[in-house]
């Protein structure tokens, strides 16, 4: 398809999609490092895997834009959101994933409206992936909800209930300092 055959709004949807996907890459990559500092390697691995998946989405968008003859140019990355524990991080991620879902839903419906089947299918495939992410995230949150108190105890200084001297005195001082630095 030549560039002049593509509706300008479809190019706009692609550009915003790239910004959102790269924002997700930045957010999940940061979270992988952060929870690694908290000592939760299982969560760090999970965030690393999500980072790769969002990077692959960004790559698909770049390829799609190149095939349409336009230069990829993500306009603005969203700042990384922060939280004091894993549940808080995941709640922020649910907001970002919902933004992606809403964006791809709107983009694919617009393509249908203007009869752009190829781009409509492209956005619909990404929509399906993000809906899958959303369901995985919801399941992870539910799983953590059942062990939230234990999770707080594990994260030490990040936990609202462990701010007093009694709570901090049992931890290794270097770990405590690391947790504080990592709370950004
Ligand atoms: Fe994505
Ligand atoms: Fe996602």
pLDDT tier at 4, thresholds 50, 70, 90:
low
- C-alpha 133 – ligand 2 centre gap (Å): 5
Q: Is the pLDDT of residue 38 over 50?
A: yes
Q: Which ligand is nearest to the CA of 58?
A: 1
Mean pLDDT of 131-152: 77
Give rounded-to-5 percent helix, strand, coil for the chain.
80, 0, 20
Q: Is the pLDDT of residue 171 over 50?
A: no
pLDDT tier at 182, thresholds 50, 70, 90:
low
- C-alpha 142 – ligand 1 centre gap (Å): 21
- C-alpha 177 – ligand 1 centre gap (Å): 34
Q: Is the pLDDT of residue 109 over 60?
A: yes
- C-alpha 59 – ligand 2 centre gap (Å): 13
Instruction: Identify the DSSP state of 12.
Output: H
Structure-block tokens of residue 152: 């707080």
Q: Is the pLDDT of residue 167 over 80?
A: no
Cα 41 to Cα 22, 79, 81: the distances in Å are 23, 24, 20
Q: Which ligand is nearest to the CA of 132?
A: 2
% of the chain beyond a pLDDT of 70: 77
**Residue 95 zone, left/alpha/beta (φ > 0; ψ -120 to 50; rest):** alpha
- C-alpha 130 – ligand 2 centre gap (Å): 5
Cα 44 vs. chain centroid, distance in angstroms? 13
Q: Is the pLDDT of residue 172 over 60?
A: no
Structure-block tokens of residue 30: 């940061």
Cα 29 to Cα 47, 53, 86, 135, 169: the distances in Å are 7, 11, 14, 20, 31
- C-alpha 87 – ligand 1 centre gap (Å): 20
Judge contact between 7 and 114, C-beta under 8 A: yes
For 64-108, the pLDDT digits (tens) are 999 999 999 887 899 999 899 999 999 999 999 999 999 999 999
Question: d(Cα 54, Cα 50) in Å, to the nearest integer?
Answer: 6
For 113-137, the pLDDT digits (tens) are 999 999 999 999 999 999 999 999 9
């Amino acid at each position: 398809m030549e560039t002049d055959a593509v509706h300008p709004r479809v190019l706009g949807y692609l550009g915003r999609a790239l910004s959102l996907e790269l924002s997700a890459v930045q957010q999940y990559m940061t979270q992988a490092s952060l929870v690694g500092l908290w000592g939760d390697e299982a969560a760090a691995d999970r965030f690393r895997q999500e980072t790769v998946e969002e990077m692959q989405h960004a790559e698909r968008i770049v390829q799609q834009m190149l095939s349409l003859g336009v230069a990829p140019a993500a306009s603005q990355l969203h700042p990384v959101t922060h939280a004091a524990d894993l549940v808080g991080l995941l709640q922020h991620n649910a907001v970002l994933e919902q933004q992606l879902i809403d964006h791809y839903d709107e983009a694919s419906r617009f393509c249908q409206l203007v009869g752009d089947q190829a781009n409509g299918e492209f956005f619909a495939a990404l929509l399906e992936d993000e809906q899958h992410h959303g369901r995985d995230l919801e399941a992870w949150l539910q799983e953590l909800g059942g062990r939230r108190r234990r999770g707080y105890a594990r994260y030490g200084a990040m936990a609202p209930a462990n701010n007093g001297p009694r709570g901090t005195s049992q931890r290794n001082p270097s770990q405590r300092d690391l947790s504080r630095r990592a709370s950004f």
